[in-house]
Amino acid sequence: MESSSASRYTTVADVARLAQVSKAQAARALGGYGAVSDEVRSRVLAAAETLQYHPNELARSMNTGRSKTIGVVVGDIENPYFSLAMRGIYDTSKAGGFDVILINTGEDLATEIDAVNVLLDKRVDGMIVAPVTRSSSTHLNRVVDSGRPVVLLDRKLPSLPVDSVVAEMRQVSYEATRHLLDEGHTRVGYISSLDVGGVEFTVDLDLGTNPVTERLAGMRRAFDEADVPLPADLIRLGAGKQYSIGDLVQALVTGPDPATAIVASDSVIALEALAELQRAEVRIPDDVSFLMFDELPWAGLMTPPITVVAQPVYDQGVAAAAILLRRIGGDRSEPEHLALPSRLIRRGSVAPVGSAVVGASA
């Protein structure tokens, strides 16, 4: 009794029957391969039309071994960074005739491992992964072993011989920090969601290979060149994981030797930090200067407009997909490591230190 007839799909066999030819001939006419007479072809095509035939991609994938699908594994699709990168990936894949399966990891390693396995089991032709920070790469090795191409996004894993696409960060972070130093900021706070398991930041903590490490390296170089000690006590990791962003911001702007400038590692952090600053009635840039990584449409519309480091996010997606498609196409050359240029956009949220303190508090 269970259910009413689940309306079976029409198959090549059905088409063949109606067209009065063998299954093989029908398949040939439909697939456009082998030799088929015009007579048969038109009969088969007509039959397919009347029967509304659509090939079962699953069956097709199974014995061609290729699914014309790529998998994308990201940390959080809700994050504008990923959704924009996704758009780049999507547009490029589609232009190449590939569909996209999206998997969201919630920045969790176990989920990421699972995601990669699922994609492999679904026989995607390749995948783009934005690996969770501090993830090991054993699960990605399985992909490499399977012979399917992987491209890493926003992160490279030194141990893994695969292509990667990141935004150049060290140089632009150096520039951004110099900008802050030029304005007199030596107490620069940095807030990142990088998960290091709650360990406190110290100058020689190994954070692995990721954008945050690069940014901190650029920052350090600027401080070193200016001969100013890097304010390690103001560099806070685990934001939004171990620690609330609001608390972190509070801690930075209060205390005996507070930060005079705050750098937000991404737009999600920036939003929460700005909200907290507003709640605490800390004015930007009068009381504290503010800089964020990632350029979003709203950044320039705030009062004051926010100074940002703009990364070519969409282009990263495009580049990653382009490389992946090339690999799927059979390119076996050495892994490529692309670093797309980022740039500092100076707006109004960074001002000389103490610029308005006297006038404003009086």
Partner DNA sequence: GCCTAGAATGAGACCGGACTCACACGGGTT
Partner DNA sequence: AACCCGTGTGAGTCCGGTCTCATTCTAGGC
Distant-in-sequence, close-in-space partners of 239: CB < 8 Å, separation ≥ 6: 191, 192, 193, 245, 248, 265, 269
Residue 271 interacting entry, from DNA, a second copy, none, C-beta within 5 to 8 Å by type: a second copy
CB of 150 to a second copy, least distance (A): 14
Going edge to edge, which strands form the sheet with 289-293? 235-236, 188-191, 261-264, 289-293, 307-310, 343-345
3-state SS, residue 246: helix
Token pair, residue 350, equals 């960074």
CB of 175 to a second copy, least distance (A): 25
Residue 257 interacting entry, from a second copy, DNA, none, C-beta within 5 to 8 Å by type: none
Token pair, residue 164, equals 């990667």
Q: Is 309 in the site for a second copy (CB under 8 A)?
A: no
> Which of 1, 52, 197, 281 forms a contact with a second copy (CB under 8 A)?
52
| 194, burial (CB in 10 Å: exposed 0-12, middle 13-18, buried 19+) | buried
Residue among 324, 340, 280 at smallest CA distance from 162: 324
> Which of 12, 16, 36, 86 forms a contact with a second copy (CB under 8 A)?
86
Euclidean distance between CA atoms 209 and 85, whole angstroms: 20
CB of 40 to DNA, least distance (A): 4
Q: Which residues in the 7-46 window bind DNA by CB under 7 A?
A: 8-13, 21-25, 27-28, 30-31, 33-40
Q: Is 47 in the site for DNA (CB under 7 A)?
A: no
Which chain residues interact with DNA by CB under 7 A?
Answer: 8-13, 21-25, 27-28, 30-31, 33-40, 53, 55-56, 59-60, 62-64
Which chain residues interact with a second copy by CB under 8 A?
Answer: 3, 6-7, 9, 52, 54-59, 61-62, 65, 67, 69, 76-78, 80, 83-84, 86-87, 90-91, 94, 99-104, 117-118, 120-123, 142, 145-147, 271-272, 274-275, 278, 296-298, 300-303, 330, 332
